Amino acid sequence: MERPRFVTLEERFAKAKSSMVASTIPKSLFYHGKKHAYNSFKFFENFGILLRRYRSCEMIIGIGVDIIEVERIRKLAEKSPRFLKRVFTDKEIKYCNRKKNKFQHLAARFAAKEAFFKALGKKIKWTDVGVINLPSGKPELALKREGSFSFNRSYVSLSHLQDYAIAYVVLEKSGMSKG
């Protein structure tokens, strides 16, 4: 295996000086010890040009997870029929009523709402957020007021067993702007 060629510090700075992106690359990326620089400067040079042209802002702004006992949801639903109407959307109730183990599905959706509130950092009306399933079966958050939140994308994962249901929600803000 051929050893990578190291370039002297003087060669690296001469090349960087002529480059438009030298100021965007930290000097620590040039050094290998005190005398040599990595030969990967071309990668950083191209990456710097891309960053200068388009400043991409993608970041996770919230993560939430919640686990709940299925029995708790079953007891609440049987004790107070209004509970389902206060917490779940009509689509969620209709979807879960078609299932054999409807309380597992209701519990998973309850956990998803709780996880969403944790990721968002505030609580909104229960029926303003719902979980729908795409034809593929993938769950998605459905929001009544989509434009009023500080995130662009949301990801949700649901899982349930006989006794427990869990949900995981990630909220992401992304955007491209010319720089």
Q: Is residue 2 part of a domain?
A: no
Q: Is residue 1 part of a domain?
A: no
Q: Is residue 156 part of a domain?
A: yes
Catalytic residue among 32, 36, 102, 118: 118
Per-residue pLDDT tens over the stretch 38-59:
444 445 555 555 555 545 556 8
Cα angle 75, 140, 159 (rounded to 5 degrees) comes to: 50
Full domain range(s) for residue 27:
7-56
Per-residue pLDDT tens over the stretch 87-113:
999 999 999 999 999 999 999 999 999
Query: Which residues, 6+ apart, have CB-to-CB distance to 46 below 8 Å?
Result: none
116 class by beta-carbon count within 10 Å (0-12 exposed, 13-18 middle, 19+ buried): buried
Residues 41 and 66 in one domain: no
Question: 67 — alpha (psi -120 to 50), left (phi > 0) or beta?
Answer: beta
Residues 31 and 116 in one domain: no
Please give the tally of structural domains in the chain: 2
Say whether 36 is catalytic.
no
Q: Is residue 69 part of a domain?
A: yes
Mean pLDDT of all residues in 151-163: 93
Say whether 160 is catalytic.
yes
Q: Per DSSP, what are the bridge partners of residue 176?
A: 56
Find the CATH number of the domain harbouring 63.
3.90.470.20
Portion of the chain with pLDDT greater than 90, in percent = 54
Catalytic residue among 32, 160, 173, 178: 160
